[in-house]
């Protein structure tokens, strides 16, 4: 993509430029610095905010920061209680982290598409893609981690044999074992892939539309980008919420022993 | 759009964030929430209890008031009765005293009457004697008729 961006000019060049990550290294060992940087900064922000709330936490009248943090905690806790019936101290913090982090990734989408790359270019950075969730690496990193947890808890709760039995004998009984296995494997593998691609697809498309709007004449831009941004507020929250809820549901399924 | 080592970096960041959240963020905030819930529940329970005890106290107060009213009514009744009695008694006393006074007065009057009678009798005797003396002095020898004279004077005096 990087080579194409150098070649193409005009609208195509602009779009490709905006969607090209800042990369160092070659092949698999290349690193998308912008994704790593922005997600780490946003993660740091999330941790800083909640750490502050946690330090001030009192059971008395909460301050503004604590109030907001507690609102989120309560919201996440309700989701976990609704869909997860086992006992696990990891699920709720995991869900909170996912929700907040993904939301903040997505929120980067609401910054005007040119501002941060412009600042970057002033500082000598040629490519800058500011929305981590438009990078498949970010979404897959999260969904694969969740997938790892699903496998881990499936084996931990049901035992290796129990998990294997579930893979082989369900849903159609032992006589259709290969078919069961295939179905189950597809089902399991579809989880991380759908999680990652759903988030990526929504945000990538959203960002692309912002970029397209940015190509229009200036007097048309507000008319289009304003409603799209408002609609996007819904989308970014919804995507973060879906990622979180599905994680809880998947892990809840991993905890259910048949 | 290619998968590369960013994936690994992101996974590490993610793991760190989840670990941090689980260790330092979730527990204190969740605890404070639970504690507040408990506090509020306790407060509500205490309020309910307070209300209940207030109702109880009100009921009790009403009972006490009723008893007090009954008692005071009884006391007033008793007092009235006692006052009546006292009035009756004093009336009796006064009547008796009056009667006694009348009796005393009557007897005094009687006494005085007797005394007056006595005095009068004596005076009448003296006068009679004198009259008799004067009448008799002309005719009777005093020494001769001394016995008769003293008899009469004694009868008059008696």
Per-residue pLDDT tens over the stretch B83-135: 999 999 999 999 999 999 999 999 999 999 999 989 988 888 888 888 887 88
Q: CA-nearest residue of chain B to A32?
A: B6
- Is A137 catalytic? The answer is no
Do A54 and B28 count as a contact with CB atoms less than 8 A apart? yes
Q: Does residue A6 have a pLDDT over 50?
A: no
Asked if A46's CB is within 8 angstroms of B17's CB, the reply is yes
**C-alpha–C-alpha distance, residues B93 and B97, integer Å:** 6
Q: Is A194 in the active site? A: yes
Residue A197 reports pLDDT greater than 70: yes
Provide the pLDDT for residue A1: 37
Beta bridge partners of A32: A23
Is pLDDT of A2 > 60? no
Which contacts qualify for B90-95: CB closer than 8 Å, 24 or more apart? Answer: none
- Taking the CA of residue A136 and the nearest CA in chain B, the distance in Å comes to 7
Query: Is A106 in the active site?
Result: no
Q: Does B5 touch chain A (CB under 8 A)?
A: yes
Contacts of residue B6 in chain A, CB cutoff 8 Å? 30-32, 35-36, 135, 137-138, 141
Residue B14: list chain A partners with CB under 8 A: 97, 101, 141-142, 145
List the single range of A61-65, A225-229, A236-240 with lowest mean pLDDT. Answer: A61-65
Q: Is residue A52 within 8 Å of B29, Cβ to Cβ?
A: no
Q: Is A62 on the interface with B (CB under 8 A)?
A: yes
What was the ipTM of the complex prediction? 0.85
A135 CA: distance to closest CA in chain B (Å): 8
Cis status of the peptide bond prior to A171, with omega within 30 of 0? yes
Pick from A31, A73, A89: CB nearest B6: A31
pLDDT band at A5 (very low <50, low <70, confident <90, very high): very low
pLDDT for residue A56: 83
Higher pLDDT, B140 or A103: A103
Q: Would you say residue A84 has pLDDT above 60?
A: yes
B40 in reach of chain A (CB within 8 A): no
At B140, is the pLDDT very low, low, confident or very high (cuts 50, 70, 90)? low
Least CA distance to B22: which residue of chain A? A93
Q: Residue A3: pLDDT above 50? A: no
pLDDT, residue B46, reads 95
Q: B108 vs A245, B102, B114, B118, B122, CA distance in Å?
A: 126, 10, 10, 15, 21
Structure token digits, residue A220? 């048309």
For the entire predicted model, the pTM comes to: 0.73
Contact B21 A96 (CB under 8 A): yes
Of A144, A126, A132, give the one whose Cα is nearest residue A1. Answer: A126
The predicted pLDDT at position B158 comes to 64
Instruction: Calculate the average pLDDT of chain B.
Output: 89
Which residues of A are less than 8 Å from B40 in CB distance? none
pLDDT (tens digit per residue) in A11-68: 888 888 888 888 887 778 888 888 899 999 999 999 999 998 888 888 888 888 888 8
Whether the pLDDT of residue A9 is over 90: the answer is no
């Amino acid at each position: 993509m990087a080579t194409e961006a150098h070649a193409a000019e005009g609208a195509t060049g602009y779009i490709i430029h905006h969607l090209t990550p800042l990369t160092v290294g070659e092949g698999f060992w290349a690193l998308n610095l912008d994704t790593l940087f922005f997600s780490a900064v946003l993660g740091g922000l999330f941790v800083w905010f909640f750490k502050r709330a946690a330090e001030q936490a009192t059971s008395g009248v909460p301050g503004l920061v604590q109030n907001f943090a507690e609102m989120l905690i309560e919201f996440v806790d309700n989701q976990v209680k609704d869909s997860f019936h086992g006992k696990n101290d990891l699920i709720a913090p995991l869900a909170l982290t996912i929700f907040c982090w993904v939301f903040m990734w997505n929120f980067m989408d609401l910054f005007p598409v040119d501002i941060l790359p412009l600042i970057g270019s002033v500082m000598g950075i040629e490519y800058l893609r500011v929305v981590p969730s438009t990078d498949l690496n970010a979404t897959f990193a999260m969904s694969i981690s969740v997938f790892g947890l699903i496998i881990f808890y499936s084996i931990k709760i049901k035992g290796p044999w129990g998990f294997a039995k579930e893979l082989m004998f369900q849903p159609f009984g032992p006589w259709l074992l290969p078919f069961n296995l295939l179905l189950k494997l597809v089902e399991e593998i579809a989880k991380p892939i759908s999680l990652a691609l759903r988030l990526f697809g929504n945000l990538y498309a959203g960002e692309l539309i912002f970029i397209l709007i940015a190509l229009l004449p200036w007097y048309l831009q507000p008319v289009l980008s304003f409603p799209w941004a408002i609609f996007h507020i819904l989308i970014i929250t919804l995507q973060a919420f879906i990622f979180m809820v599905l994680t809880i549901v998947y892990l809840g399924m991993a905890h259910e022993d048949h | 759009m290619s998968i590369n080592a960013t994936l690994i970096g992101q996974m590490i960041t993610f793991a760190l964030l989840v670990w941090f959240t689980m260790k330092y963020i979730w527990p204190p905030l969740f605890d404070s929430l639970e504690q507040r819930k408990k506090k509020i529940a306790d407060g509500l329970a205490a309020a309910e209890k307070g209300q209940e005890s207030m109702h109880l106290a009100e009921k009790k107060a009403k009972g006490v008031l009723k008893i007090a009213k009954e008692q005071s009514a009884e006391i007033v009744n008793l007092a009235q009765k006692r006052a009546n009695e006292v009035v009756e008694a004093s009336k009796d006393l006064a009547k008796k005293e009056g009667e006694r006074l009348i009796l005393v007065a009557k007897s005094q009057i009687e006494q005085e009457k007797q005394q007056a009678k006595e005095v009068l009798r004596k005076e009448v005797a003296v006068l009679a004697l004198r009259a008799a003396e004067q009448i008799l002095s002309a005719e009777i020898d005093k020494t001769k008729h001394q016995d008769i004279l003293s008899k009469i004077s004694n009868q008059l005096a008696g």
